[in-house]
Homo-oligomer: A and B are copies of this chain.
């Protein structure tokens, strides 16, 4: 089935938070855990932690850990997720058309 790579992509960027996290890192460049939590509105440290871990395992973000006190960990986008941005833009345009279809009254 030819759509299985699409399914694969959806597995990796699906869920409630992942795209929001990627989007936030995109806008901020290198960013730390607590800064990220402040900017991704409403996310708990648990969810952020889980999602960052998965995104890292899927190769979408890079994690840099500095063994300092207090601890410092920085996150940034990988090349893979930067390629994703273009795709998301076209998906966004399509989503906009869906929106217009569903709200013709506005």
Report which A residues bind B (CB closer than 8 A): 1-3, 5-10, 12, 14, 19-20, 23, 58-59, 80, 83-84, 86-88, 90-99, 101-102
Contact between B94 and A83 (Cβ–Cβ < 8 Å)? Answer: yes
Please, which residues of chain B bring their CB within 8 A of the CB of A97? 80, 83
- Report chain B residues within 8 Å CB of A99: 5, 8
- Secondary structure at the A interface, as helix, strand, loop or mixed, is helix
A9 to chain B, nearest CB (A): 3
For residue A3, give the distance in angstroms from its CB to the closest CB of chain B. 5
Residues of B contacting A2 in the complex (Cβ-Cβ under 8 angstroms): 23, 92
Known: A3-B88, A12-B95. 17 other contacts (CB 8 A): A2-B23, A3-B23, A3-B92, A5-B91, A5-B93, A5-B95, A5-B96, A6-B95, A8-B95, A8-B98, A9-B94, A9-B95, A14-B14, A58-B101, A80-B97, A80-B101, A90-B90
A31 to B102, CA, bound (A): 24
